[in-house]
């Protein structure tokens, strides 16, 4: 009986403690793996779309093109032609910008491209902290063309050399093979930031902490830049 009790006690210890500790360790690994898979996009195209959308939507808050949307909405008071004009101007502009980004990748080596992208993203982070201003000439000279045409021309020209256009070039160069998703994401991000402004006016802008949004956008650009620079710097120091 004593021998049987000691055997049972040893079995209980083996069953209760050793496997349980192992199972707890394995369960943590399984949970971490599931979280990683859930939080990380399953396809590079989805990652390109989500990053492009979030970066441009944040960068557009308080940008001169958003201020332009406010001016157009106040001047014409016809939201549908303005929103449609913003969409057309954005998709044309960003399609060209994305094509430039994709073209750059075909002429630069991977190492040189990573250096350029990394430095550009870091510079963009700094640029995000500089507020934009809108010139009256960007609207006034085209207002005689009608609401839709005025919006298309004014937005297209205002977007030339703007933060979001440069960001589209860099994102298209970063996500090689996901040109469509980058352009779709940046266009969607522009519409998320500008369409509500056309409908609701400056009420929505006043409720959004622009400085905080710009800080978040700057952090995202900085992280993208540091990630792009990691491998080139590692190779340089090796």
Domain parsing of the chain, residue ranges: 2-35, 43-237
Residue 143: predicted pLDDT: 53
pLDDT of residue 20: 45
**Residues in the chain with pLDDT values less than 70:** 1-42, 132-145, 202-208
Q: Give the pLDDT of residue 35.
A: 39
pTM over 0.85? The answer is no
pLDDT of residue 238: 74
What was the pLDDT predicted at 92?
Answer: 96
Crossing angle of helices 210-237/110-127, nearest 10°? 150
Cα 44 to Cα 25: distance, rounded to the nearest angstrom: 31
Residue 109 is classified by DSSP as -
Confidence at residue 141, expressed as pLDDT on a 0 to 100 scale: 52
Angle at 103 between CA 97 and CA 106, to 5 degrees: 155
Report the distance separating Cα 202 and Cα 216, nearest Å: 21
Give pLDDT, residue 7: 46
Place of tokens 């001016």: 71
Distance CA 25, CA 19 (A): 10
Query: Looking at residue 6, what is its pLDDT?
Result: 53
Confidence at residue 113, expressed as pLDDT on a 0 to 100 scale: 86
Distance between the two ends of the chain, CA-based, in angstroms? 67
Nearest of 156, 18, 183 to residue 93 by alpha carbon = 156
12-45 residues labelled b (16+ CB within 10 A) or e (exposed):
eeeeeeeeeeeeeeeeeeeeeeeeeeeeeeeeeb
Query: For residue 92, which of 186, 227, 5, 23 has the smallest C-alpha distance?
Result: 186
- From residue 158, alpha-carbon distances to 45, 63, 77, 184 in Å are 28, 10, 20, 19
């Amino acid at each position: 009986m004593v021998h049987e009790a000691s055997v049972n006690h040893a079995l209980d210890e083996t069953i209760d403690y050793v496997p349980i500790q192992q199972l707890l360790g394995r369960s943590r690994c399984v949970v971490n793996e599931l979280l990683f898979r859930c939080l990380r996009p399953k396809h590079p195209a989805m990652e390109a779309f989500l990053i492009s959308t979030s970066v441009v939507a944040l960068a557009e808050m308080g940008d001169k093109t958003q201020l332009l949307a406010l001016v157009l909405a106040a001047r014409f008071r016809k939201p549908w032609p303005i929103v449609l004009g913003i969409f057309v101007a954005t998709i044309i502009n960003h399609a060209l910008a994305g094509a430039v980004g994709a073209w750059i990748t075909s002429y630069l080596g991977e190492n040189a491209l990573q250096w350029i992208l990394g430095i550009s993203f870091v510079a963009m982070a700094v640029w995000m902290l500089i507020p934009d201003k809108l010139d009256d000439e960007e609207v006034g000279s085209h207002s005689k063309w009608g609401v839709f045409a005025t919006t298309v021309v004014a937005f297209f020209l205002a977007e030339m050399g703007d933060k979001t256009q440069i960001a589209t070039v860099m994102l298209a160069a970063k996500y090689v093979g996901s040109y469509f998703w980058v352009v779709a994401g940046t266009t969607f991000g522009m519409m998320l930031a500008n369409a509500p402004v056309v409908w609701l006016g400056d009420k929505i802008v006043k409720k959004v902490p622009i400085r905080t949004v710009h800080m978040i956008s700057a952090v995202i650009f900085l992280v993208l830049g540091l990630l792009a620079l990691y491998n080139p710097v590692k190779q340089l120091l090796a």
